[in-house]
Amino acid sequence: MLRAALLSAVVLLAAPTAAQAATARIYFTKGEQLAYVERDLPIGVEPALKALMAGPPAGYGTTLPAGVTAKVKGTSIDFTPNLKDYAARAQVVYTTASGEDEVKIDGKTYTREDFGPEPYVEPEPPARKVPAPAKPKDVQTKLAALGYLPTSAITGAFDYRTMQAVLAFQAWTGLDRDGVVGPMTLAKLQSAGRPLPLDRTSKGRRVEIYRAQGVVLLINSGKVVRAIHTSTGIGGDSPDIGTPPGKWKIYRKEVKSWSVPYKTWLPYAAYWVGGWALHGYADVPARPASHGCARLPLPEAKYVYDFVSIGTPVQVI
C-alpha cells in the first residue's frame, strides 16, 4: 500500500504572540527530496504534527506509514507503533523542529542536523553477473551504432556499462531484460534500427523517459543521440514513490545532491520537477525500483548530466 504522508517542517515566518497562529511549513516528499506546503497553524509541535499526519496534498507524497498514531507531550512524541523508518522520522523532525530546536521521537532526541549529508563516497557499480558473448567487441560496436553505447565504450570487454546497454536494447526491442546476449538478442542486433523518439519535430535537445521499458532517450532535433537503461519509481503514476507522467524542464543540476529523506547521495542529479531527477545510482535493476527518480547506470550518469542544461525539456511517458 502506498504511503500517504509528506515530510513537514515548521518554520515560524513571523513572531506572533502565543495566542496567534503562525505560518508553518509542512514538509512532504516530492520524488526523493523534501518539499513543503504552508499552513496557518497554532504554534507548537502538536498542531504541526497533526497537519503532517493528515496526509499530503495533491502532487506530494509521504513516508509516514498508514495507521500510525502519536501522543504529544511538549516536544516529545511517542508513536504507535514506533516510528522506525528513517525517512518518516525526517519528515516529523522537519515538521516539528524549527532551526536548531530539538524534538524527541520515541525517546530519542533529534534535530535537523541529524539528517544532514554524510561524507561523500564515490559509489561503484555492481560486479557483472552475466556471461559474456563470444565476440563482445562486435556486440559493443553494434550497440554503439544504434545509440546504446558511446564509441569510447567499445573496449572488447563485456563490462557493466555494456551489460546495461544490452538491458536498454532488450527493453526497447521487446525482449526479456536479462543483460545476456543470447541468440534472440544477437538476431535483434542485426535487424534493429536506432530508437525513434515520440517527439521527432522539436528543435534542440530534449529527454524522453519511458517508464514501462526502462529506457531514457537523449534526443537532439528529433534524432536519438543515446538510449540508456533506467529504473523509475515503484509507485507508478503516483507522486508517492512513483514517477508521475508529464512534461517539464530541467530546473536544477547538482554534481553531488543529498537526499534528506532517503539518506543517500544522488550523483550527477538533474532535476526536472520537485525532487524528481535523473541521477546516477549503483543499483539499476530491470524493473521499477526507485522512490521516484530515474536512476541511471553510474558510467552513464555524467554523460546524461552533461547532455542536459537548465531548461532542457523532459517528458515522462
Q: What is the pLDDT of residues 254-305, one digit of tens each?
A: 999 999 999 999 999 999 999 999 999 999 999 999 999 999 999 999 999 9
Q: What is the pLDDT of residues 23-53, one digit of tens each?
A: 999 999 999 999 999 999 999 999 999 999 9
- Residue 293 bears catalytic tag: yes
The domains of the chain are located at: 21-115, 136-316
- Distant-in-sequence, close-in-space partners of 149: CB < 8 Å, separation ≥ 6: 140, 143, 161, 162, 165
C-alpha grid cell for residue 56?
499530503
Q: What is the pLDDT of residues 136-193, one digit of tens each?
A: 999 999 999 999 999 999 999 999 999 999 999 999 999 999 999 999 999 999 999 9
CA–CA dist 115, 138 (Å, integer): 47
pLDDT at residue 19, rounded to an integer: 42
Calculate what percentage of the chain has a pLDDT beyond 70.
93
pLDDT at residue 95, rounded to an integer: 96
Q: What is the pLDDT of residues 193-247, one digit of tens each?
A: 999 999 999 999 999 999 999 999 999 999 999 999 999 999 999 999 999 999 9
Catalytic, out of 5, 293, 298, 304: 293
Of 230, 232, 274, 231, give the one whose Cα is nearest residue 252: 274
pLDDT at residue 20, rounded to an integer: 61
CA–CA dist 253, 191 (Å, integer): 37
Residue 54: pLDDT band (50, 70, 90) is: very high
Which pTM value belongs to this model? 0.90
pLDDT at residue 124, rounded to an integer: 87
- Residue 229 bears catalytic tag: no
Catalytic, out of 30, 206, 279, 295: 279
Question: 136-316 maps to which CATH number?
Answer: 2.40.440.10
